[in-house]
Amino acid sequence: MDNEYTHTHTLLDVTLTNDNGYLTTSIFHKSAAEPYILPYTSDHPRHVYNNILYAALLRAARICSNVEDFDMERIRIDLSLLLNEYPPSFISKHFIRFFEINNAISVLNSLNPEAYHALHQKLLHQPTRCEKQIQANDEDTNPMPDVLKKKKPWDPNFMYAKYNYESGPRSVFQHKFLT
């Protein structure tokens, strides 16, 4: 008896496939969804268009676990960009830029599975911009700032008034509470 088992499940925008215990992931597209990307002819700064293309390839490389699914998504991105009036030279230039930045030009040129696996793992485990910001904030946080270290320790027998007023409730405190 053959124990072949394949199960596919979609979750948000990811298709998960369990093929006899081997898990693969790819991008899920709703059948009714049109290939819409911000049109190139709209009035936005040029860096917005560069980022759209880079982010689309980054998302594909993070989600697609094998080079064939990634290539299908790359072709889909290419067609979506062409349908939204992006110049072919612009698309080509930025596709090459993505692979050069990530040292994976062989994925673009020959669909090298080993190079794609390295790219996928690198990008999958690379922190997002939000995660980098959280890390930076955590590193900047000093649990005991120097200003607080210089002060004398808290004495529960004394009340420390935060503000100095010449009149009001503080003026009636006993002298030992004012120090």
**Cβ atoms of 86 and 50 closer than 8 Å:** no
- Give the chain's count of helices (H) and strands (E): 7, 3
Residues pairing with 24 in the sheet:
17
- Look at residue 46 in the predicted model and tell me its pLDDT: 86
Q: What is the pTM of this model?
A: 0.68
Mean pLDDT of the chain: 80
pLDDT at residue 82 tops 90: yes
Provide the pLDDT for residue 1.
Answer: 46
**DSSP assignment letter at 128:** P
pLDDT in tens, 115-163: 999 998 998 888 878 888 888 777 766 566 565 555 566 666 665 555 5
Map out the domains of the chain as residue ranges.
Answer: 1-30, 45-128
Maximum pairwise Cα distance, the chain = 93
